[in-house]
Amino acid sequence: MSTLTQSRAWLALKLHREQFAATRMTDLFATDPQRFKNFSLRVHDVLLDYSKNLVNAETMQLLVALARERGLGAEIQRLFNGDKINVSEDRAVLHTALRDGVPVRVDGNDVMPEVKATLARMRAFADGVRDGSLGGRGGRKITDVINVGIGGSHLGPALATAALAPYAAGGSRVHYISNVDAAAVQRTLAPLDPATTIAIVESKTFTTTETLTNAKLVRDWLGVPAGADAGNQLVAVTANTRLAAEFGVTTDRVFPCWDWVGGRYSLWSAMGLPIALGIGMDNFEKLLHGAREMDAHFRDAPFDRSMPVVLAVLGVWYNNFFGAASQAILPYDESLALLPAHLQQLDMESSGKQVTRDGETVDYDTGMIIWGATGTNAQHSFFQLLHQGTRLVPADFIAVCEPHHAMPHSHAILLSNFFAQTAALMNGAPADGFPGNRPTNSILVQKLTPHSLGMLLALYEHKVFVQNTIWGINAFDQPGVELGKRLASGILPDLEAATAAGRYDASTTGLINFYKINRHS
């Protein structure tokens, strides 16, 4: 039995859970008229209402006690101090240093001078592209930027670019290519002009097959001969400057990323260059300031008043004591359409593990399945299951008070649904077959700005950190992605060989042969 499931706090929660078997949220509101006030938190212009949850004050005390018993306080300090908490790779984890601006040492060296120098280089490049002093091929003004990357070298930057589109006036049009499916390359390149387009190749390792395959296609389209000096047409963000130079990226167009920044935590680094090219460096730095504000809240707030801790322990409550397998992310805001995908990688690539930092196989559930879509679309696709299905699916509803558009009636309709759905999920309508008692969190942001987006994304980064501290998991490696990559690189030669495949299981062999017979109509 694991230390976690034998801990005092865990056993107390198991006992407490039994008391909740028949508890209805509506009863909790009836006995506490101040429940909304007592179960909501506010940081700057972000409100978290967690009153529509299957918790009472004692539940929250027990959950916070669990986090404390698992050493969360010390772990938070270790995170910000640059201790090597990524134990399997012997690395510090310092995405916080990218936005906090205070000295912090890795292997005795303060990283802040290089962080600040990189921000200055980003600013010089972004300003030059935006004002035209840095041109593309033949010095032509750059109108379009293609970002080629995948995973954390794609999802966070693409989300921020989309979310902050209202701030992109006067900036470059930024396009994202990630999947190796060449349909994406074809669709992206078709309307663009190689004379006024540049490409940013984002790859921490500079070995990711999808990214290098796409980067070669884009380099050819740009008309840059392999190995030639690409000038401004090719930029790289990588920890592997040698491979970037071999690819043809001029040295002063290679921006660093460091091994103490994990891919899914890297949009705050030079991986955020496409964001800055779109919205400008001033707004990019406001994004960093928002994350910095959430960092300060996470470092300083008492656990029971800490947004990341509250979100995290609520997830542990449903995951480990109610058996909920998934968590829905429901932004009622089309600008945040990519948020579920970003949080899928952030959460599931961090928490999808079954061995603890100490090498013990867990005897409890860890990472939840993160999924979601924007409201109100989601109401016309999967809300039937949320309301009347047999499964408990805790959900985070996210919306803004003030939109960037000037259609207030549409926004009022959107928000009326945002409010109605969480109420309906809680209250239900038993006579009509709606059981209710289904938990949700409501996050309201005054307006989606670079600052508030930075706060929101950092909030979820720290939520994941707290959950993995409780579960004893190393949130910062991703060994599970390697096996598939290895097998794929072994299969590829068979797909391009004339002979039939034969050294796989019968299914894989059969599938490969069907493909090879049918790939030319």
The radius of gyration computed from the CA coordinates of the chain, to the nearest angstrom, equals 24
The sign one gets for the Cα dihedral 281, 285, 290, 295 is positive
| Active-site option among 14, 37, 447, 485 | 485
**Beta bridge pairs of residue 144:** 173, 197
Residue 204 found at the interface with ligand F6P (CB under 6 A): yes
Q: Is 344 in the site for ligand F6P (CB under 6 A)?
A: no
What is the closest distance, in whole angstroms, from the C-beta atom of residue 276 to ligand F6P in the complex? 18
Closest CA to 271 of 77, 119, 445: 119
Give the residue nearest to ligand F6P (CB): 263
Residue 68 has a CB neighbour count (10 Å cut-off) of 13
Tell me which residue of 40, 52, 44 sits closest to 447, measured CA to CA. 44
- Map tokens 């299905």 to a residue: 389
Give least dist CB 420 to ligand F6P, A: 37
Rounded to whole angstroms, how far apart are CA atoms 97 and 108? 15
The helix/strand/coil state of 324 is coil
Catalytic residue among 380, 482, 496, 520: 380
Q: Which residues have CB under 8 Å from 181's CB, separation 6+?
A: none
Annotation says 349 is catalytic: yes
The active-site residue, picked from 349, 353, 411, 461, is 349
| Stretch 160-189 residues interacting with ligand F6P (CB under 6 A) | none
Give least dist CB 263 to ligand F6P, A: 2
> Which of 17, 15, 13, 7 shows the shortest CA–CA distance to 69?
7
The least CB distance from residue 8 to ligand F6P, in Å, is 36
Among the listed ranges 80-88, 150-158, 364-372, 513-521, the one in contact with ligand F6P (CB under 6 A) is: 150-158
152 touching ligand F6P, by CB under 6 A: yes
Nearer to ligand F6P, 153 or 468 (CB): 153
Closest approach of ligand F6P to the CB of residue 98, in Å: 15
Report the amino acid identity of residue 455.
Answer: M
Stretch in the footprint of ligand F6P (CB under 6 A) among 50-58, 200-208, 425-433, 498-506:
200-208
Contacts of 196 (CB under 8 A, 6+ apart): 136, 137, 140, 141, 142, 143, 144
Sole window of 2-10, 197-205, 247-255, 458-466 interacting with ligand F6P (rule: CB under 6 A): 197-205
Q: State the nearest-atom distance from the C-beta of 176 to ligand F6P, in Å.
A: 13
Q: Which two tokens stand for residue 463?
A: 């939520």
State yes or no: residue 86 binds ligand F6P (CB under 6 A). no
User: Does residue 440 bind ligand F6P (CB under 6 A)?
Assistant: no
Q: Check if 380 is active-site.
A: yes
Distance separating alpha carbons of residues 152 and 185, to the nearest angstrom: 19
Could you tell me which stretch among 86-94, 144-152, 168-176, 463-471 binds ligand F6P (CB under 6 A)? 144-152
Q: Does 249 bind ligand F6P (CB under 6 A)?
A: no
- Based on CB atoms, which residue is closest to ligand F6P, 258 or 397? 258
**Smaller CB separation from ligand F6P, 279 or 475:** 475
CB of 400 to ligand F6P, least distance (A): 28
Segment 348 to 387, residues that bind ligand F6P, using CB under 6 A? 349
The only residue of 59, 147, 161, 211 in contact with ligand F6P, by rule CB under 6 A: 211
In whole angstroms, what separates CA 369 from the centre of its chain? 13
Stretch that binds ligand F6P, among 93-101, 199-207, 310-318, 354-362 (CB under 6 A): 199-207
- How many Cβ atoms sit within 10 Å of the Cβ of residue 196? 16
Residue with tokens 């592209």: 129
Q: For residues 240 and 203, give the distance between their C-alpha atoms in angstroms, rounded to a whole number.
A: 9
Q: Which is nearer to ligand F6P, 426 or 464 (CB)?
A: 464
Residue with Cβ nearer ligand F6P (481 or 500): 481
Note whether 151 binds ligand F6P by CB under 6 A.
Answer: yes
Q: Shortest approach of ligand F6P to residue 238 CB, angstroms? A: 8
Q: What is 500-520 written as a DSSP string?
A: PP-SS-HHHHHHHHHHHHHS-
Residue 333, token pair as written in the block: 């805001």
In this complex, which beta carbon is closest to ligand F6P, that of residue 49 or of residue 202?
A: 202
Among 51, 147, 153, 417, binds ligand F6P (CB under 6 A): 153
Binding mask 262-301 for ligand F6P (x = CB under 6 A): -xx-------------------------------------
Considering beta carbons, is residue 172 or 345 the nearer one to ligand F6P? 345
Q: What tokens appear for 380 in the block? A: 């016309």
Does 204 qualify as catalytic in the annotation? Answer: no
Helix, strand, coil shares, percent, the chain, to 5: 55, 15, 35
Coil, helix or strand for 431? helix
Sign of CA dihedral 223, 228, 233, 235: positive
Q: Is the CB of 86 or the CB of 478 nearer to ligand F6P? A: 478
| Selected binder of ligand F6P within 385, 401, 407, 481 (CB under 6 A) | 481
Query: Helix/strand/coil (H, E, C) string of 328-373?
Result: EEEECCHHHCCHHHHHHHHHHHHHCCCECCCCCECCCCCCCEEEEC
C-alpha–C-alpha distance, residues 81 and 77, integer Å: 6
Choices 83-91, 201-209, 311-319, 463-471 (CB under 6 A): range interacting with ligand F6P: 201-209
Of these, 444, 478, 494, 501, which contacts ligand F6P (CB under 6 A)?
A: 478
Contact 367, 409 (CB under 8 A): no
The partner residues of 197 in beta bridges, in order of sequence, read 144
Shorter beta-carbon distance to ligand F6P: residue 149 or 394: 149
Amino acid at 272: G
Cis ω on the peptide bond leading into residue 5 (within 30° of 0)?
no
**Residues with a known catalytic role:** 349, 380, 485
| Residues of this chain that bind ligand F6P (CB under 6 A) | 150-153, 203-205, 208, 211, 263-264, 349, 478, 481
